[in-house]
Amino acid sequence: MSTPAGWYDDGSGQKRWWDGAGWTAHVAASAAPALVSPEPAPFVPPYTPPLAPPVPTAPPGASPIAAPQHPSAPAYPSAPQYPTAPQYPSAPQFSPYPSAPGVPAPYDGYALPGTSPAPFPAVGLAGLIAAALGTIVACIPQIPLIGWLLLGAGFVLSLVSLFFRARKWAGIAGLAVSVLGALLAAVLSFVLVGSFSVSGSADDVPGSEVIYASDLEVGDCLPEGLDGEEFFEVTIVPCDGPHIDEIYYEFDLPDGEFPGEDALTEAAIRECEPQFEEFAGIAYEESELNYWWLTPTETSWAGGDRTMQCLIYDYDGSTVTGTLEGAAR
């Protein structure tokens, strides 16, 4: 059951508008008391605790009023602003070459920060090239002296280049190549002289001498057989004394690539056999003598050697005294 809307005494002695659900903010103007009969006791509606603040409602015909402004929610403080992390200074930059004050840092041939780049190592590169060429040439039996000269020049140029303001790698490499090349050439010369030279010396037979293989020529006689060996030096003796082989003919091969052992053998038979009869005075098939030949090696061919020599000797390998030219046996 609800009380109908109307003006009622709100308990304070003044009239207030009841809208049927709760008191409003509208009150009636006070007036002089009327001379009327006593009024009944004022109506007091049952108390109902409001669930929310009453919203004023204008009575019929009343002018509108603004709705009450409810207080906004309290503003809470924002989260505390913590200070940023301190900025520490960066690590100090140290020079790669610390040195005492007034003493320049060591120079390794490369540009340091703030300096111009090192020049191109022209002298060191020239020394490296000379050392490399000298190593190759010194290993060729016919021209070892040229190789030794190149090795010496390469060593000197490489050493001098280390004192120039340029990159050092070429000079260091040139020194290493020249030293290693000299050792290799010395070992090779020792092996050739010790292993490939024909046994015998100039003191064994009067008039004998040791010559380079490239200096052999027609009319030279050898005290011992070569037995197909490669040699760098050889001992020759006078042909009027005891000897084994005698060079009776020689010829040159055409230029080109090294022909190989089979081609050299064919050339020797083709050239040496016809000359055998002319030298010995008897056909090869009827003679008790035999012939052999000396050929260039692949190494000497690369050095320009193209000469082949034909040798005559006794078939049983015995020592011969005097030349076999015109022996007719």
Residues 23-28 have a mean pLDDT of 80
Which range, 24-33, 123-132, 226-235, is most confident? 123-132
Residues 292-299 have a mean pLDDT of 88
Summarised one tens digit per residue, pLDDT across range 247-285 is 999 999 999 999 998 999 999 999 999 999 899 999 999
pTM above 0.85, yes or no: no
Which range, 80-94, 171-185, 225-239, is most confident? 171-185
What is the number of other CB atoms lying within 10 angstroms of the CB of residue 42?
A: 11
Tell which residue, 242, 308, 300, has the closest CA to residue 273.
308
The residues near 33 (Cβ < 8 Å, ≥ 6 apart) are none
Say what the pLDDT of residue 251 is: 93
Summarised one tens digit per residue, pLDDT across range 100-114 is 555 555 444 455 555
Give me the percent of the chain exceeding a pLDDT of 70: 67
Catalogue the long-range contacts made by 321-325 (C-beta closer than 8 Å, 24 or more residues apart). 321/240, 321/241, 321/242, 321/243, 322/239, 322/240, 323/221, 323/239, 323/240, 323/246, 324/246, 324/248, 324/279, 324/280, 324/289, 325/246, 325/248, 325/279, 325/280, 325/281
Say what the pLDDT of residue 34 is: 46
Summarised one tens digit per residue, pLDDT across range 43-97 is 555 555 555 555 555 565 555 555 555 555 555 556 566 666 666 666 555 555 5
